[in-house]
């Protein structure tokens, strides 16, 4: 049970972060920027690529955030970003009847403001009671904007000319107004005292990276302050996760890409997986992670691990997975009664099936 991606804190897991927003508002760009700006080659605690997700450890958040953050205030291990943005992924990925994501970033193009999918995303976040922050993206496109790449946004915002800042303020207040119409009180994040009562709006540019340190800081702070109790899990207990994708993989047959949100999964564990008909009961043959970057070119795409703890993204190879479904629950049986676990998975599947029918 000693894999490098296991959290060092034995009882606090990484919060899972989803990115939502209207098409072309910059969800993918923001995720790419977060991944890119936090790769510190060769240094301890660099980001790690998971299956379907990216882990940004606390060390990296504090490195990127600089003076914005005091790492001693935090004991959560970092943030796990789901790589697939958009509200389809958000609604299909469920965990025990709620959202798989613990927290979300709503990306809004400052020029475009609220669009149909922005409104949908807000109501989805509202229904699932998922805490979120707003990334008011593309600030670099404000005419006359003086960029400050990869820097915290507040000093940059204050250094703009009065006209540019006024222009941005007008656009930000429109977003704040739309949020208010949707029933959310919000403000520029540095004016927010209580992130539970008020949504923090963070001006960013996924292009220049300004504001990205602030996004990481606010997500970390929000998780630490308001979600710590939910992050207290028995990371050595039987694993629970959600299937992202069912995929054929050469040499492994049908595999499951899974986001694990609780406990641990290990090789040879018996697992119960939600499927089209009856749940599948099978045994884990291999646990696969994306291969670490290396100088040596190789055909091998995965590294095998003995076990992995939440929160993480992992590929599970096991027999009989052909009928498994995206969005379905996966549970490790361990020392529980298999029949009880089958019943729990069946109950969760009722909800998954309904969602799929609606698509």
Which of 6, 37, 130, 205 lies at the binding interface for ligand GDP (CB under 6 A)? 205
Contact 1, 236 (CB under 8 A): yes
- Tell whether residue 329 is a contact of ligand GDP (CB under 6 A): no
Q: Which CB atom, from 13 or from 27, has the smaller least distance to ligand GDP?
A: 27
The conformation of residue 133, written as its DSSP 8-state character, comes to E
The residues pairing with 81 across neighbouring beta strands, listed in sequence order, are 17, 54
Options 22-30, 64-72, 241-249, 320-328: segment touching ligand GDP (CB under 6 A): 22-30
**Which tokens is 121 given?**
């995303």
CA dist 314 to 19, 51, 185, 292, Å? 20, 5, 37, 14
What is the full DSSP assignment across 263-306? SEEETT-EEEE-BSSSPEEEE--EEEEEPPP-SS--S--EEEES
Q: Which CB atom, from 29 or from 128, has the smaller least distance to ligand GDP?
A: 29
Options 27-35, 176-184, 287-295, 337-345: segment touching ligand GDP (CB under 6 A): 27-35
Binding to ligand GDP, residues 137-166 (CB under 6 A): 137-138, 140-141
CB of 188 to ligand GDP, least distance (A): 17
- Tell whether residue 135 is a contact of ligand GDP (CB under 6 A): no
Contact 14, 74 (CB under 8 A): no
Q: Which CB atom, from 136 or from 231, has the smaller least distance to ligand GDP?
A: 136
Which three-class secondary structure state does DSSP give residue 59? helix
CB of 142 to ligand GDP, least distance (A): 10
**Which tokens is 315 given?**
């590929």
- Tell whether residue 213 is a contact of ligand GDP (CB under 6 A): no
Q: Which CB atom, from 124 or from 271, has the smaller least distance to ligand GDP?
A: 124
Between the CA atoms of 255, 4, 271 and 337, what dihedral angle is there, to the nearest 10 degrees?
A: 180
CB of 285 to ligand GDP, least distance (A): 35
Buried b / exposed e over 158-193, threshold 16 CB at 10 Å, is eebeeebbebbeebbeebbebbeebebebbbbeebe
Which of 24, 73, 181, 306 lies at the binding interface for ligand GDP (CB under 6 A)? 24
Q: Which CB atom, from 32 or from 267, has the smaller least distance to ligand GDP?
A: 32
Q: Which CB atom, from 122 or from 321, has the smaller least distance to ligand GDP?
A: 122
- Tell whether residue 23 is a contact of ligand GDP (CB under 6 A): yes
CB of 308 to ligand GDP, least distance (A): 28
Options 8-16, 92-100, 135-143, 297-305: segment touching ligand GDP (CB under 6 A): 135-143
Report d(CA 212, CA 56) in Å as an integer: 13
Q: Which CB atom, from 87 or from 138, has the smaller least distance to ligand GDP?
A: 138
- Tell whether residue 171 is a contact of ligand GDP (CB under 6 A): no
Which of 28, 117, 270, 356 lies at the binding interface for ligand GDP (CB under 6 A)? 28
Q: Which CB atom, from 85 or from 213, has the smaller least distance to ligand GDP?
A: 85
In degrees and rounded to multiples of 5, residue 239 shows phi and psi of -65, 150
Contact 247, 262 (CB under 8 A): no
CB of 107 to ligand GDP, least distance (A): 6
Tracing tokens 């809004």 back to the chain, one arrives at: 108
Cβ-based neighbours of 65, under 8 Å, separated by 6 or more: 152, 213, 214, 216, 217, 220
Using CB under 6 A, list all residues that contact ligand GDP. 21, 23-29, 85, 137-138, 140-141, 205-207
């Amino acid at each position: 049970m000693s894999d490098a991606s296991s959290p060092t804190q034995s009882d606090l897991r990484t919060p899972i972060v989803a990115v939502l927003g209207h098409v072309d508002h910059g969800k993918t760009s923001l995720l790419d920027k977060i991944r890119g700006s936090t790769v510190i080659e060769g240094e301890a605690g660099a980001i790690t690529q998971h299956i379907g997700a990216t882990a940004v450890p606390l060390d990296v958040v504090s490195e990127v955030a600089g003076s914005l953050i005091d790492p001693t205030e935090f004991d959560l291990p970092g943030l796990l970003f789901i790589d697939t943005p958009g509200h389809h992924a958000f609604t299909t990925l469920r965990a025990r009847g709620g959202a798989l994501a613990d927290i979300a970033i709503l990306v809004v193009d400052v020029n475009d403001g609220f669009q149909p999918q922005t409104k949908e995303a807000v109501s989805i976040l509202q229904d699932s009671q998922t805490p979120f922050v707003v990334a008011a993206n593309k600030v670099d496109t404000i005419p006359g904007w003086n960029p400050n790449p990869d820097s915290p946004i507040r000093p940059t915002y204050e250094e703009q000319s009065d006209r540019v800042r006024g222009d941005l303020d007008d656009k930000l207040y429109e977003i704040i107004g739309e949020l208010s119409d949707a029933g959310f009180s919000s403000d520029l994040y540095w004016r927010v005292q209580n992130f539970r009562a008020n949504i923090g709006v963070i001006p960013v540019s996924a292009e220049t990276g300004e504001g990205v340190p602030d996004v990481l800081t606010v997500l970390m702070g929000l998780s630490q302050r308001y979600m710590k109790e939910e992050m207290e899990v028995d990371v050595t207990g039987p694993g629970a996760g959600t299937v992202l994708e069912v995929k054929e993989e050469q040499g492994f047959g049908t595999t499951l890409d899974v986001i694990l949100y609780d406990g641990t999964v290990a090789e040879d564990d018996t697992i119960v997986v939600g499927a089209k008909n009856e749940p599948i009961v099978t045994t884990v043959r291999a646990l696969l992670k994306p291969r670490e970057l290396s100088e040596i070119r190789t055909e091998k795409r995965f590294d095998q691990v003995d076990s992995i703890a939440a929160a993480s993204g992992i590929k599970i190879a096991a027999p009989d997975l052909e009928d498994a479904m995206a969005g379905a629950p996966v549970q490790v049986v361990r020392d529980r009664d298999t029949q009880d676990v089958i019943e729990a998975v069946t109950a969760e599947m009722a909800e998954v099936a309904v969602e799929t029918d609606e698509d």
